[in-house]
């Protein structure tokens, strides 16, 4: 069961890279880039967090390495949340004012 989490993390990382390539191809074809929206980072960061959180424990790493990897996993999760929240907050704040 634990290895399935690592495999799912690898698939999310590949999905993130695929989304980035797709966005770059659309830009090369003439589409305007979306300013401030980095949706390809979300699956990438979550996938890296899943891999970093489970891999050291599965290979029998020492306690210090496992704790460091868990901390890295937490940081990547917070970064993924910030990638979602910061552009949404800017978008809400830049709407037309009623005054």
Residue 16 lies in a domain: yes
**What pLDDT does 35 receive?**
61
**What pLDDT does 22 receive?**
87
Number of domains in the chain: 1
Residue 43 lies in a domain: yes
What angle (nearest 5°) sits at the alpha carbon of residue 18, between those of residues 13 and 24? 130
**What pLDDT does 10 receive?**
95
**What pLDDT does 51 receive?**
92
Running DSSP on this structure, what letter comes out for residue 61? Answer: -
What does the block give as tokens for 83? Answer: 């990638």
Query: Is 0.75 surpassed by the pTM of this model?
Result: yes
Q: H-type helices in 59-98, by residue range? A: 63-93
Helix (H, G, I), strand (E, B) or coil at 94: coil
Mean pLDDT in each 10-residue stretch from start to end of the chain (99 residues)?
90 92 84 70 90 90 93 91 77 58
Residue 27 lies in a domain: yes
Residue 98 lies in a domain: no
Q: Look up the domain containing 72 and give its range.
A: 2-93
């Amino acid at each position: 069961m634990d290895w399935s989490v690592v495999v799912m993390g690898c698939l999310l990382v590949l999905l993130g890279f695929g989304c980035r390539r797709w966005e770059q191809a659309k830009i090369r074809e003439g589409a305007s880039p979306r300013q401030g929206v980095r949706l390809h980072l979300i699956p990438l960061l979550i996938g890296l967090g899943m891999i970093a959180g489970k891999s050291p424990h599965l290979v029998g790493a020492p306690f210090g390495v496992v704790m460091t990897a868990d901390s890295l996993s937490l940081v990547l999760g917070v970064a993924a949340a910030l990638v979602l929240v910061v552009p949404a907050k800017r978008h809400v704040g830049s709407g037309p004012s009623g005054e």
